[in-house]
Amino acid sequence: MIDRTSNPTALQRHVPNVLTGLRVAAIPFLLIAFFLPAPWSDWLPLILFMMASVTDWLDGKLARHWNAGSKLGQFMDPMADKLLVVAIIVMLVSFGTIGGWHVIPAIAILCREMFVSGLREFLAFRQVEVPVSGLAKWKTTTQMLALTVLLVPLDLTELPGLVLFWVAGYLALQTGYAYLRAALPQFMDDAS
């Protein structure tokens, strides 16, 4: 049974960050998996991506359950998500799974990720924290689900995956705008 305490053990404090680190460490292996011969290249990227996505859910759950949140975790968790999502989107575009008009949500997601990272850096410099919103968590979940479905090497999953991908692109724009609105007072302070 997991012990929910206000003073987590040393192991409990580090497990969520280790899981986040494993998500980042999985990215090179995930990319290499795309270039392996079939059937490895068909299924291994999907399996590795799903395992990495599960660590995203698990690290947050454990950090909350053990009261083991940390500044490092607050920084690394969203960064690990961004790195994973960007890497997979680039690979799916490169291999033609995402093409044509469907590149629009890919660009929206990639631009949002860069914009929000820069915005968070600007706000951190000003010692302002912007918590992750509920909608941003849905955006991440939708992205992970869309990319998982797009990685399934079956034709019948392409349309649902692309529909989810467009939804993820829309949520990326919505959450990017929400972060911008939250940061506007800081921009106004700089202008005065």
Residue 190's pLDDT is: 66
Domain edges within the chain: 10-191
Best CATH choice for the domain 10-191 from the list 2.20.28, 2.60.40, 1.20.120, 3.40.190: 1.20.120
CA angle, 115 as apex, 110 and 121 as ends, to 5°?
130
Per-residue confidence in pLDDT tens, the chain, 192 aa: 444 556 767 777 778 888 889 999 999 999 999 999 999 999 999 999 999 999 988 887 888 888 877 777 777 888 899 999 999 999 999 999 999 999 999 999 999 999 998 888 888 888 877 777 888 889 999 999 999 999 999 999 999 999 999 999 999 999 999 888 888 888 777 666
- pTM of this prediction exceeds 0.75: yes
Residue 4's pLDDT is: 52
